[in-house]
Amino acid sequence: MIQALNMGSLGEIDGGRVGLAYESELAKVIHDLENRAADDSAREIVIKVKMNPVCDDSGELAHVSTQVFVHSKMPIRRTAPSHMRLIRDDDGCPSLFFNDGCPEDSRQHTIDEITNDNN
């Protein structure tokens, strides 16, 4: 069916795939909002419509090639900073070490490590 392009018909382009893409991105945003409610950064759904003129041999507009792009933008997932210590092995190759039980001090040892070292 021939339809005029407007906000109401936008979702019907490409056999309804634009509407499905929007619904998919909306579901992702809702899921992120629910799981990371403490992150008060904005989430966005972006719909971009690109239209390029296509001319016939006489230079007249034959049709408009139209593409719709739908994607979401969410805050970057990040961890709290962890202090890491650089230690070189016997060959001088460096590695980074962290303490998962004490992220603010990579040199802090646990009682288990101390007792295991003494055995």
Confidence of residue 101 (pLDDT cuts 50, 70, 90): confident
Evaluate whether residue 78 is within a structural domain. no
Task: State the total domains in the chain.
Answer: 2
The rounded distance, in Å, linking the Cα atoms of 4 and 1 is 10
Q: Is the pTM for the entire model greater than 0.75?
A: no
- The predicted pLDDT at position 117 comes to 60
Residues 30 and 55 in one domain: yes
Average pLDDT across the chain, whole number? 90
Look at residue 103 and tell me whether its pLDDT is greater than 70.
no
Residues 57 and 107 in one domain: no
Mean pLDDT of 25-53: 97
Residues 61 and 101 in one domain: no
- The predicted pLDDT at position 7 comes to 95
Residues 30 and 68 in one domain: yes
Residues 101 and 66 in one domain: no
SS3 47: strand
Which residues constitute the domain of residue 33? 10-73
Evaluate whether residue 2 is within a structural domain. no
Look at residue 119 and tell me whether its pLDDT is greater than 70.
no
Residues 60 and 95 in one domain: no
Residues 61 and 107 in one domain: no
Mean pLDDT of 8-15: 96
Look at residue 115 and tell me whether its pLDDT is greater than 70.
no
Evaluate whether residue 1 is within a structural domain. no
Residues 17 and 63 in one domain: yes
